[in-house]
């Protein structure tokens, strides 16, 4: 039996039943990693020794009955912008190439509490800026479904690792689609929770008002289980929200009867690849056949989401990334010089070109004289986008849309035209601008055998509705065989 | 020779360190000192992924300051990031308030030669302090200590309403007194818990338009502030008189050389790219919260002074001096509560205590003696068991070491001798030894009487009641 084809929940059940040991699961993961990494490059760091050590400890705790959560003993990969105490955390940047955090991110602390085993840290676009995982200082990650293609990004490493069966599940982070888009490209399930659901403490910020950590798994059940592990109120994060209910797994019900689903017409315009469109319509029809009330409507604002997103995200990033200066940690230039020149050289040598582009863009929109014209206007646009969603959610339980206009592009096709690359985020960024939860579920493959995903968007803190709808579709898909990947 | 008459226009930016136990955005201690980088955590050292969480106490202190200076309170205020690179600033941005400061549009009343005057407060805002750089000139490197990084500060920005260094000192005195009374800061200039930047310009008298101003930093005492104002005024007038222009710049005051120097800046224009900190939600101040702070405001100096005059029947002069320091006032009330006569307690504090403070160059906060011991000393002196001179001697000992006056008097056998027979013997001896002086006295030279009293006291090593000695002398001559 190949343990690594099991879902996380299935694997944990076997461990809890005593059929296999935690060490077997870790061994299996490490074996696949050894076999696939040369080709995929999903990981920046693989912590073989730490994982084995931790596996023995967790097994002992299971044996004495102290750990029994749904994901206990499951190996997991963590995106390399989430701090892991004692384990290198680089943000895929030269400027943090040797940075070892002194503390665990709250989400990581939650993984450990639940008895999960961190196998390693996954590759990503540098500082999560990009949607192909090609801007990493540690080389590109390849799409396990077709290694000539990108895995998407910025959580490309996490999604590729799951797709390649290197780990059953992973943590990603999503600022403008960074979990949902690579999940779609790699044919896995990934979720961006409502802003405030998972603590950002220890997530190295790209754009603080948009960033959110989320789960990546093989199916909806794993996503729900993993979300249940990492979601918590955290007094160390001022934007953390205390939820009444953290029992996300109870939402896994196969029933969409009477569910009101809105389809925003403008998301299905010319830009959308016909093959992708066709796969998504299959999902719409299946849900309708199973009792959902589906309706097309005008959401509006689509043409403004990209400029608003890039102004706000870049502005915050330009300030967030100022702490990387060569003084306290990370890369410092080898040239011996005064402090201001040291800053300049360390940053010029330490950051890649996409990061520099966004720092410059962000610094520009915040500079005096331009603040009102760009930054403030973007904030107002953001409020209007949120309002449009509020109006929609007064009518619908959830919104269904594509994740990306196409399937995964070929390696090297995207970086030459940044503006085109930014437009690739058009279906995902408004979810972040509005703080909403969104999930990507695989819904088929195109003629090039590349996965297609569908995005479901819920109202704030309606993760359970979202998970129920996603789970229901997954059940229908598995029975019908349509949209299988 | 000055052809024209000039007026000085001054506005102040005062930074006050708030006396909270923990820092503004993390749980680290604000205690002064400590080995470098021991009062630090991922938040105040700017570690990647760390996040700020606002200390509520800071908001409450700021509100208290706002209420006491007649400010409006912004019930929906926000924190903004001030972006600039410097190694003492671990995130390379300072979390401050720019767009929506917590307090605005207030005033403080000061006394001037022309009477009372309102100095308007433009705004007060909360922000974090930076770390400290230690330069090693010999080996050409710098070290940074983040113990101060994240200590809460309040910046109080006045309007350019002051016209002289007297007004400035008066304003600062009022501000310091307020902060001390509210318990929000100890406001020590020397230790940096109060920092003053002076914005100064000059203009010809009767002109409406302000001149170009400069900002002066590094002012470590009230005296330095007064000297800096005089120096900068002179420098600017000199420039104008020579037909030159004042350049808007930041200058560093060198109190030793009594001159200010323009500070170098790499960039010509500073653009801090202020924007709302996305890590910190708006601070929503409810009516209830505001009212609870307003209701819990302590008695401030003017009310306290009035109460002292009314309830303790202290003269206005005494009441003003005692209440000028919250610490002195507390000591006064505690001693009176222990049974000390208010006027006597006031005398000890106003005369002897202030004399010794001045002599030792200390602040009322540094007083070591307890109200219990002061009360005891007053009782001992009232009962006449020690005379005034000895009481002062004991007090000095108390000031230095907080000795128990009763124990001290007993141990050093300082009690006055009341036994008439013992005194009589001594008086007799003195009269015999000084028969010439006694002759002079009998011949009408009244002045020498004091000499005779002094001789008796000397023999008694000061431990006699002077009144009794006088009576005996008169009788026996």
pLDDT in tens, A203-233: 999 999 999 999 999 999 999 999 999 999 9
Q: Which residues of A touch B53 (CB under 8 A)?
A: 235-238
Interface A-B: count of C-beta contacts within 8 A: 95
Tell whether B356 and B453 lie within a shared domain.
no
What's residue A314's pLDDT?
98
- Rounded average pLDDT over A2-20: 97
Tell whether B246 and B197 lie within a shared domain.
yes
Q: Which residue has the tokens 């029992």?
A: A247
Catalytic residue check, A88: no
Residue of B42, B87, B92 with shortest CB distance to A322: B92
Domain holding B448: CATH number? Answer: 1.10.10.410
What's residue B449's pLDDT?
83
- Cβ of B48 and A83 within 8 Å? yes
Q: Which residues of B touch A88 (CB under 8 A)?
A: none
DSSP A371: I
How many structural domains is chain B composed of? Answer: 3
**Which range of residues forms the domain containing residue A228?**
3-251
Tell whether B196 and B313 lie within a shared domain.
no
Residue B28 domain-assigned (yes or no): yes
Residue A148 domain-assigned (yes or no): yes
**Which range of residues forms the domain containing residue B351?**
299-411
Query: pLDDT, tens digit, for every residue of A60-111?
Result: 999 999 999 999 999 999 999 999 999 999 999 999 999 999 999 999 999 9
Residue A341 domain-assigned (yes or no): no
What's residue B417's pLDDT?
63
Please give the average pLDDT of every successive group of 10 residues along chain B, which has 477 residues. Answer: 82 97 97 92 97 98 97 97 95 97 97 92 98 86 94 98 96 94 90 93 92 92 94 95 92 90 66 96 97 95 93 93 92 92 92 91 88 90 78 89 85 68 79 82 82 80 75 78
Q: Which of B390, B411, B432 is the last residue of a domain?
A: B411
- CB atoms inside a 10 Å sphere around CB A60: 12
Tokens of B87: 């190694």
Closest C-alpha among B90, B133, B125 to residue B106: B125
Domain holding A238: CATH number? Answer: 3.90.1300.10
Q: Which residue has the tokens 């990209």?
A: A306
Residue A273 domain-assigned (yes or no): no
Residue B168 domain-assigned (yes or no): yes
Residue A145 domain-assigned (yes or no): yes
Strand ranges (E), B263-389:
275-276, 283-284
What's residue B100's pLDDT?
96
- Cβ of A235 and B53 within 8 Å? yes
Terminal Cα distance for chain B, rounded: 70
CB B52 within 8 A of CB B279: yes
Residue of B45, B49, B271 with shortest CB distance to A202: B49
Residue B178 domain-assigned (yes or no): yes
Query: pLDDT, tens digit, for every residue of A290-311?
Result: 999 999 999 999 999 999 999 9
- pTM to 2 decimals? 0.89
Residue B1 domain-assigned (yes or no): no
Residue A372 domain-assigned (yes or no): no
Please state the φ and ψ torsions of residue A60, each to the nearest 5 degrees: -60, -45
Q: What is the mean pLDDT of chain A?
A: 96
Residue A30 has pLDDT above 80, yes or no: yes
Residue A119 domain-assigned (yes or no): yes
CB A400 within 8 A of CB A453: no
Tell whether B133 and B80 lie within a shared domain.
yes
Is B37 in the A-facing interface, judged by CB distances under 8 Å? no
Residue A483 has pLDDT above 70, yes or no: no
- Cβ of B53 and A207 within 8 Å? no
Tell whether B330 and B305 lie within a shared domain.
yes
Residue A57 domain-assigned (yes or no): yes
Tell whether B333 and B244 lie within a shared domain.
no
Q: Which of B262, B289, B316 is the last residue of a domain?
A: B289
Tell whether B394 and B428 lie within a shared domain.
no
What's residue B418's pLDDT?
63
Residue A338 has pLDDT above 90, yes or no: no
CA separation (Å) from A16 to A57, A58, A66, A116?
14, 11, 11, 13
Which of the residues A178, A183, A184, A462 is marked catalytic?
A: A178
Closest C-alpha among A320, A132, A71 to residue B92: A320
What's residue B268's pLDDT?
46
Residue B294 domain-assigned (yes or no): no
- Cβ of B50 and A201 within 8 Å? yes
How many structural domains is chain A composed of? Answer: 1
Catalytic residue check, A348: no
What's residue B32's pLDDT?
86
Tell whether B199 and B315 lie within a shared domain.
no
Cα distance from B349 to chain A (closest Cα, Å)? Answer: 48
Residue A260 domain-assigned (yes or no): no
Is B413 in the A-facing interface, judged by CB distances under 8 Å? no
Q: Which of B411, B433, B460 is the last residue of a domain?
A: B411
């Amino acid at each position: 039996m190949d343990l690594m084809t099991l879902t996380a929940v299935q694997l944990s059940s076997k461990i809890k039943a005593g059929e296999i040991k935690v060490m077997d699961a870790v061994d299996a993961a490490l074996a696949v990693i050894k076999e696939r990494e040369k080709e995929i490059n999903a990981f920046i760091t693989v912590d073989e020794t730490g994982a084995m050590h931790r596996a023995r400890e967790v097994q002992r705790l299971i044996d004495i009955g102290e750990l029994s959560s749904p994901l206990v003993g499951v190996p997991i990969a963590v995106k390399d912008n989430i701090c892991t105490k004692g384990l290198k955390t680089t943000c895929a940047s030269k400027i943090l190439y040797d940075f070892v955090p002194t503390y665990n991110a709250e989400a990581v602390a939650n993984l450990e509490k639940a008895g999960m085993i961190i196998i390693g840290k996954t590759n990503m676009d540098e500082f999560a800026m990009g949607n192909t995982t090609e801007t990493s200082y540690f080389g590109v990650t390849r799409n396990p479904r077709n290694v000539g293609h990108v895995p998407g990004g910025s959580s490309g490493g996490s999604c590729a690792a799951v797709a390649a069966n290197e780990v059953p599940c992973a943590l990603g982070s999503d600022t403008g689609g960074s979990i949902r888009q690579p999940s779609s490209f790699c044919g896995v399930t990934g979720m961006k929770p409502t802003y405030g659901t998972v603590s950002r403490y220890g997530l190295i910020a790209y754009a603080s008002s948009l960033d959110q950590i989320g789960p990546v798994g093989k199916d909806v059940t794993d996503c729900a289980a993993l979300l249940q592990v990492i979601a918590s109120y955290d007094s160390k994060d001022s934007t953390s929200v205390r939820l009444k209910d953290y029992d996300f797994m109870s939402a896994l019900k196969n029933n969409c009867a009477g569910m009101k689903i809105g389809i925003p017409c403008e998301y299905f315009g010319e830009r959308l690849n016909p093959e992708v469109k066709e796969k998504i319509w299959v999902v719409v029809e299946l849900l309708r056949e199973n009792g959902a009330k589906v309706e097309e409507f005008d959401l509006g604002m689509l043409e403004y989401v990209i400029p608003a997103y890039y102004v706000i995200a870049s502005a915050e990033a330009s300030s967030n990334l100022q702490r990387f200066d060569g003084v306290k940690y990370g890369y410092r230039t080898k040239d011996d010089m005064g402090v201001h020149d040291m800053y300049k050289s360390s940053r010029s040598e330490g950051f890649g070109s996409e990061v520099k582009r966004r720092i410059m863009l962000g610094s520009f929109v915040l500079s005096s004289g331009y603040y009102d014209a760009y930054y403030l206007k973007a904030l107002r646009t953001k409020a209007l986008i949120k309002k449009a969603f509020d109006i929609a959610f007064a009518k619908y339980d959830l919104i269904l849309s594509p994740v990306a206009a196409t399937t995964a592009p070929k390696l090297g096709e995207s970086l030459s035209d940044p503006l085109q690359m930014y437009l690739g985020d058009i279906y995902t960024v408004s979810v972040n601008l509005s703080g909403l939860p969104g999930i990507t579920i695989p819904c088929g493959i195109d003629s090039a055998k590349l996965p297609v995903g569908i995005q479901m968007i819920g109202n704030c803190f309606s993760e359970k509705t979202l998970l129920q709808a996603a789970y229901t579709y997954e059940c229908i898909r598995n029975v019908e065989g349509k949209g299988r990947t | 020779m000055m052809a024209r008459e000039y007026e000085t226009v001054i506005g102040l930016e005062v930074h006050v360190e708030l006396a909270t136990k923990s820092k503004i955005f993390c749980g680290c201690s604000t205690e002064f000192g400590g080995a470098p980088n021991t009062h630090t955590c991922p938040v105040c050292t700017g570690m990647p992924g760390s996040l700020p969480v606002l200390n509520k106490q800071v908001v409450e202190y700021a509100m208290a300051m706002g209420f006491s200076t007649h400010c409006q309170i912004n019930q929906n205020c926000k924190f903004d990031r001030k972006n600039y690179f410097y190694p003492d600033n671990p995130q390379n941005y300072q979390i401050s308030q720019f767009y929506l400061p917590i307090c605005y549009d207030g005033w403080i009343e000061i006394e001037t030669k022309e009477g009372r005057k309102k100095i308007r407060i433009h705004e007060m805002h909360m922000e974090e302090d930076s770390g400290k750089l230690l330069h090693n000139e010999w080996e050409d490197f710098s070290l940074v200590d983040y113990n101060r990084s994240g200590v809460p500060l309040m910046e109080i920005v006045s309007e350019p309403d002051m016209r002289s260094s007297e007004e400035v000192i008066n304003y600062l005195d009022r501000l310091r007194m307020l902060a001390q009374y509210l318990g929000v800061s100890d406001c020590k200039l020397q230790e940096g818990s109060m920092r003053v930047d002076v914005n100064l310009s000059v203009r010809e008298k009767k002109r409406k338009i302000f001149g170009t101003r400069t900002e002066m930093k590094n002012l470590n005492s009230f005296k330095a502030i007064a000297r800096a104002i005089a120096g900068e005024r002179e420098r600017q007038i000199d420039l104008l008189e020579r037909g030159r222009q004042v350049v808007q710049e930041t200058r560093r005051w060198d109190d030793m050389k009594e001159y200010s120097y323009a500070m170098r800046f790499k960039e010509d224009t500073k653009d801090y790219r202020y924007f709302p900190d996305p890590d910190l939600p708006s601070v929503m101040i409810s009516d209830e919260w505001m009212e609870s702070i307003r209701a819990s405001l302590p008695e401030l100096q003017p009310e306290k002074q009035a109460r002292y005059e009314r309830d303790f029947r202290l003269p206005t002069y005494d009441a003003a001096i005692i209440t000028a320091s919250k610490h002195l006032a507390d000591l006064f009330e505690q001693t009176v509560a222990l049974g000390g006569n208010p006027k006597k307690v006031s005398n000890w504090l106003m005369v002897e205590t202030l004399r010794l403070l001045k002599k030792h160059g200390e602040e009322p906060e540094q007083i070591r003696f307890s109200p219990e011991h002061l009360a005891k000393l007053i009782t001992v002196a009232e009962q006449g068991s020690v005379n005034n001179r000895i009481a002062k001697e004991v007090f000095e000992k108390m000031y230095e070491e907080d000795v128990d006056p009763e124990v001290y008097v007993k141990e050093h056998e300082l009690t006055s001798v009341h036994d008439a027979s013992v005194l009589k013997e001594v008086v007799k001896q003195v009269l015999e030894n000084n028969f010439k002086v006694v002759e002079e006295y009998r011949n009408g030279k009244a002045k020498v009487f004091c000499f005779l009293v002094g001789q008796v006291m000397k023999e008694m090593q000061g431990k006699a009641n002077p009144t009794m000695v006088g009576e005996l002398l008169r009788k026996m001559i």
